[in-house]
């Protein structure tokens, strides 16, 4: 029995191929496991009539015209969505970090998660776009539903290099101007920036009527401190460093991390923002299922 890729270890799945292959495999598995659309608000819109041709489904016959003019016309619909999803992906330097070589970097995990999410949305004919940013906005792929949009999104992910520092609040404020129409905003980030300033931008999006979803990515090594007996840890973004003994600071650090997660969760809930904490060893399918 073939295993579902969405439930495998992300690092193992990533070894199967590029982002497209991984995302498609994950989405296939994910969609096979769900019984209804994970997202609501989809519909189709009537566009025109055409003459009935043999083979057309009878259910699309316009019975009203048939009764009035006794001519067979079938209704044609243009699929449309009322959802515009924009995936905001943090491409800062801190995202290019992995606790161990066996795991994906946060950025690699985020890329694959974003690609899979975009594929799901696009398959549901939702206009989906992508914005990558670090201290500034790097890539903007407007939300579209047309064919090839996913490829553009994947290319956008691939073409976005690892950035430097994260001035997320500035980038997010700039993004608010790009997201004029209401929709869904999915932020995928390690949230290693000033929480209050970031929340200002997120609150603004929420005020504009956006549905905001936050994926807080963390490497397991960022949750449980470990390392040599004594080590100088350096922030790759700010170059700030601190000498610690991981073993003796582990508990205090874990408490601090849990408090930070709890603070993010509480702040997001207060403002109607969906918050999801995801570790990079979590199977993609489980991460996606957080949205259902």
Q: Which is nearer to another protein, 195 or 206 (CB)?
A: 195
Q: Considering the complex, what minimum distance in angstroms separates the CB of residue 265 from another protein?
A: 16
Binding site for another protein (CB under 8 A): 94, 97, 190, 192, 218, 222, 225, 227-238, 240-244, 247-253, 255-257, 260
Q: Tell whether the torsion through CA atoms of 140, 146, 148 and 150 is positive or negative.
A: positive
Q: Considering the complex, what minimum distance in angstroms separates the CB of residue 283 from another protein?
A: 23
CA atoms within 13 A on the CB side of 113: 37
Q: Considering the complex, what minimum distance in angstroms separates the CB of residue 37 from another protein?
A: 36
Q: Chain centroid to CA 268: how far?
A: 17
Listed residue (187, 45, 36) closest to 120, CA to CA:
36
CB 179 within 8 A of CB 204: no
CB 132 within 8 A of CB 138: yes
Q: Which is nearer to another protein, 140 or 231 (CB)?
A: 231
Q: Which is nearer to another protein, 119 or 218 (CB)?
A: 218
Instruction: Please give the angle made by the CA atoms of 20, 205 and 170, to the nearest 5 degrees.
Output: 80
Residue labelled with tokens 């991390």: 257
Q: Considering the complex, what minimum distance in angstroms separates the CB of residue 251 from another protein?
A: 4
Q: Which is nearer to another protein, 38 or 227 (CB)?
A: 227
Q: Considering the complex, what minimum distance in angstroms separates the CB of residue 276 from another protein?
A: 18
Q: Considering the complex, what minimum distance in angstroms separates the CB of residue 5 from another protein?
A: 28
What does residue 102 show for φ and ψ, rounded to 5 degrees? -75, -15
Q: Which is nearer to another protein, 111 or 190 (CB)?
A: 190
CB 277 within 8 A of CB 216: yes
Q: Which is nearer to another protein, 12 or 248 (CB)?
A: 248
């Amino acid at each position: 029995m073939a295993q579902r890729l969405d439930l495998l270890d992300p690092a193992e799945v990533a070894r199967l191929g590029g982002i497209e292959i991984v995302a498609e495999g994950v989405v296939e598995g994910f969609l096979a496991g769900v019984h209804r659309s994970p997202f609501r608000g989809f519909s189709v819109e009537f566009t025109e009539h055409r003459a009935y041709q043999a083979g057309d489904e009878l259910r699309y016959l316009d019975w009203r015209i048939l009764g009035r003019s006794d001519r067979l016309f079938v209704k044609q619909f243009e699929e449309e969505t009322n959802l515009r999803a924009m995936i905001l992906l943090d491409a800062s330097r801190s995202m290019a970090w992995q606790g161990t070589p066996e795991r994906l970097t946060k950025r690699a995990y985020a890329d694959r998660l974003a690609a899979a999410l975009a594929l799901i949305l696009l398959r549901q004919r939702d206009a989906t776009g992508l914005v990558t940013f670090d201290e500034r906005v790097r890539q903007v792929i407007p939300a579209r539903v047309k064919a090839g949009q996913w490829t553009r999104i994947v290319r956008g992910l691939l073409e976005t290099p690892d950035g430097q520092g994260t001035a997320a609040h500035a980038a997010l404020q700039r993004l608010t101007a790009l997201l004029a129409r209401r929709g869904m905003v999915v932020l995928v980030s390690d949230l290693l920036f000033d929480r209050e300033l970031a929340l200002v931008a997120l609150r603004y999006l929420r005020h504009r009527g956006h549905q905001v979803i936050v994926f807080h990515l963390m490497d397991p090594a960022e949750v449980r401190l470990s390392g040599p007996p004594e080590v100088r840890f350096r922030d790759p973004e700010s170059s700030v460093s601190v000498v610690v003994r991981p073993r003796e600071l582990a508990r205090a650090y874990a408490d601090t991390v849990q408090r930070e997660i709890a603070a993010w969760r509480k702040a997001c809930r207060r403002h109607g923002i969906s918050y999801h904490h995801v570790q990079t060893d979590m199977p993609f399918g489980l991460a996606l299922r957080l949205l259902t």
